[in-house]
Structure formats: structure tokens, C-alpha cells
DNA sequence: TCTTGACTTAGAGTGCACTTTAAGTGTTAT
DNA sequence: ATAACACTTAAAGTGCACTCTAAGTCAAGA
């Protein structure tokens, strides 16, 4: 699979795929005799994993560490697990924060629904909320 | 309340508070006779709201628009609500993506738990997953 | 054979959200 | 009165994660 095909398949630009490989969050991709990238299943798996982790806000640096550990082999299993657990916790924390914000947004939207369709200055004052 | 006090209270640097005011996601803060910021309850409310929205990943640009609409008064209620609804949807989308990543992380962590404490190459192969 | 288009690299540029710097003014404590 | 510190502004700098550019190579079709 060429870089253009992988790009289409995963919705990441060819630039981004080369960047991911260069920084090391995708291990070296096999090449054709001419030196052109030829993405195989393993490489595609890495792309998908990294797309997923990046979408969740996991930093490139953490992913670089994970891939480096992975490439060192089985002796790094415990370290890799610890890294994932740490990232999982950070992710859960961000999600909790976002949940609070979501609820706050919902509250404000509800308030706007009350205000629209017959709002008066008095009514707004009664609601006891501004912003 | 001075900028230093507000900074401590909300865990945002004085620089960030000034930046927020400059770009317009916090309306002009009242000043003392000497021109020094004197954060009142309304300003504090804005700080808290913006801290919350930024933590959820809402872009500065959207918040600038919201505050601008707010300052134009009651005629912008519908527009403000629409803006909030749009941001709410984007936030919910990001959270769904993150939930998927969280589940994927949990799956990998579970796998590492199986592998650690008696792993062999055969066992890893049987798990049918790499990375 | 020639052009088109996909690929390569190293390195520079971009956008976002701060963050720091420089130069200066005002306030508080001894 | 003077030091130390908090404040002001405009503008430059930073860090992250891409994103683009320039210069060049290579394979396939007219």
C-alpha cells in the first residue's frame, strides 16, 4: 500500500504519515526496491492505533516512548503497561473535566431556552445567572 | 481582587488573565483609580467560565464570539444559544472519540496483564494482537 | 522520448494558545 | 526616602503538532 493509499484509508495526510514515522510513533515502514514506502498490515495497525491515541490527546512524546519500548521486545512489557495505565488515567481525567464542561454547557443552553420566547430583563434577573 | 489574587484563585497565570481580556474572552475588567485591574464577581464568573470551556477544548475564537454577542445585549440571545449548542455538539463528539480510545487503552492494558506473569512468545502469538 | 504525477529528503513555515521580555509606572513596607 | 514588588503595555518568543516548500528521483502512459 502506497503512502497515498494509506493516507486515504486513515484520513491522515501523507505528510503526517511521514512525520509519524520520522518522529518514531510508527516503526520503519517497509520499502520497495526503489525506496518507496509500502505499508503492510503491521504498519497499518500502527497508523490506526496512533490515529486513535492522538485523537484522544495522547502526546507524541508518550507514543514515541511506547513504540521505542515495543521495539526493544518482551523485556519491556511491564514498562509498556505502566505507560498505558498512566495515559489511561490522564485520559480519564480529561474526560471527567470535559463531562463537567458539557454539563455546564447543557445548563446554559437550557437557560437560553427559557429566556428565548418571552424574555424580559426581570426574568433574566430572576434566573440569577449572567454570562 | 488584584490580578495576582485572581490568578491564585483560578490557577491561571496573570499573563493568561491579561491575555484573555486582551483577546476578548473576558470583558473589560474594572480598574482602580491607578488603572490597576480590580476583578469583581462578574469578572470572576467569566474567568471561571472560560477556564472551564478552555479545559474542554473550546477554541478561543468561539469564546470571543460568545462574549462579543453577550456584550451586544438581549437581541443576541438566539445567536448565543446557537453558538453554545454547536460547541456542545463538538464537545460531545470529542468525548465520544475519547471514549473509544479509552476502551482501546483498557483492552491493551488487560492484554498486558495477561502477558505479564508467564508470557511466552507462543502466548503472545495466540493473543492475536501486536503493538 | 517526453510529460505527468507520485514519490523522496531536509528543512522552513504555520496556527494555536499561551508565555516571556523589555521598558516603564505605581504601591507598600521599613 | 528608598527598596522591593505588583502592576502596565506592546511585541517577540515558545512548544506542540503538524504542514508546506524546494529540489530532486522514479515509474507509467501518450
Which nucleotides of chain D have an atom under 7 angstroms from any protein CB?
Answer: 6-10, 16-21, 26-27
Quickly give A36 CA vs C1 C1' distance in Å.
25
Collect all residues with Cβ–Cβ distance below 8 Å to B78 and sequence separation of at least 6: A116
More confident residue, B124 or B57: B57
Domain B1-72 -> CATH class:
mainly alpha
Residue A121 in this model has a pLDDT that exceeds 70:
no
Quickly give A43 CA vs C12 C1' distance in Å.
28
Phi, psi dihedral angles at A22 (to 5 degrees)? -60, -45
User: pLDDT grade, residue A129 (50/70/90)?
Assistant: low
pLDDT tens digits for range B82-106: 999 999 999 999 999 999 999 999 9
Percent of chain B that is helix, strand, coil (3-state, to 5): 75, 0, 25
* Alpha-carbon gap, residue A43 to B125, rounded angstroms: 17
pLDDT score at B32: 83
* β-bridge partners, A31: A37
The nucleotide lying nearest A37 (C-alpha to C1') is C7
Residue range A117-121: mean pLDDT, rounded: 56
State the Cα angle at A34 between A28 and A40, rounded to 5°.
Answer: 40
pTM for this structure?
A: 0.86
**Subunit contact B121:A80, Cβ cutoff 8 A:** no
pLDDT tens digits for range B2-38: 888 899 899 999 999 999 999 999 999 998 877 788 9
* β-bridge partners, A37: A31
Residue bearing cell 438581549? B74
Q: What is the 3-state secondary structure (H, E, C) of chain A?
A: CCHHHHHHHHCCCHHHHHHHHHHCCCCCCCECCCCCECCCHHHHHHHHHHHHHHHCCCCHHHHHHHHHHHHHCHHHHHHHHHHHHHHHHHHHHHHHHHHHHHHHHHHHHHHHHHHCCCCCHHHHHHHCCCC
**Does the nearest atom of strand C lie within 7 Å of B5's Cβ?**
no
* Alpha-carbon gap, residue B22 to B25, rounded angstroms: 8
- The grid coordinates listed for B90 are 463538538
* Alpha-carbon gap, residue A111 to A109, rounded angstroms: 5
- The grid coordinates listed for B37 are 485591574
Phi, psi dihedral angles at A108 (to 5 degrees)? -65, -40
Residue bearing cell 464577581? B41
Alpha carbon distance, N-terminus to C-terminus of chain A: 52
pLDDT tens digits for range A3-42: 989 999 999 999 999 999 999 999 999 988 878 899 999 9
* Alpha-carbon gap, residue A84 to B109, rounded angstroms: 7
B chain contacts of residue A58, beta-carbon cutoff 8 Å: 101
Q: Pick from B53, B108, B116 the residue to mutate for testing the A interface (most A CBs within 10 Å).
A: B108
Residue bearing cell 476578548? B24
- C-alpha dist (Å) from residue B66 to A33, A129, B10: 56, 16, 21
pLDDT tens digits for range A30-41: 988 878 899 999
Phi, psi dihedral angles at B41 (to 5 degrees)? -60, -40
DSSP structure class, residue B37? B
Amino acid at each position: 500500500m502506497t503512502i497515498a493509499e494509506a493516507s486515504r484509508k486513515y484520513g491522515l495526510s501523507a505528510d503526517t504519515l511521514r512525520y509519524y514515522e520520522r518522529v518514531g510513533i510508527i516503526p520503519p515502514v517497509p520499502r520497495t526496491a526503489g525506496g518507496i514506502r509500502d505499508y503492510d498490515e503491521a504498519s497499518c495497525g500502527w497508523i490506526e492505533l496512533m490515529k486513535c491515541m492522538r485523537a484522544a490527546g495522547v502526546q507524541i512524546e508518550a507514543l514515541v516512548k511506547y513504540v521505542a519500548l515495543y521495539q526493544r521486545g518482551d523485556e519491556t512489557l511491564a514498562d509498556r503497561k505502566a505507560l498505558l495505565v498512566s495515559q489511561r488515567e490522564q485520559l480519564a481525567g480529561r474526560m471527567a473535566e470535559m463531562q463537567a464542561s458539557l454539563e455546564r454547557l447543557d445548563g446554559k443552553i437550557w437557560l437560553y431556552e427559557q429566556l428565548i420566547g418571552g424574555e424580559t430583563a426581570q426574568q433574566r434577573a430572576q434566573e440569577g445567572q449572567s454570562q
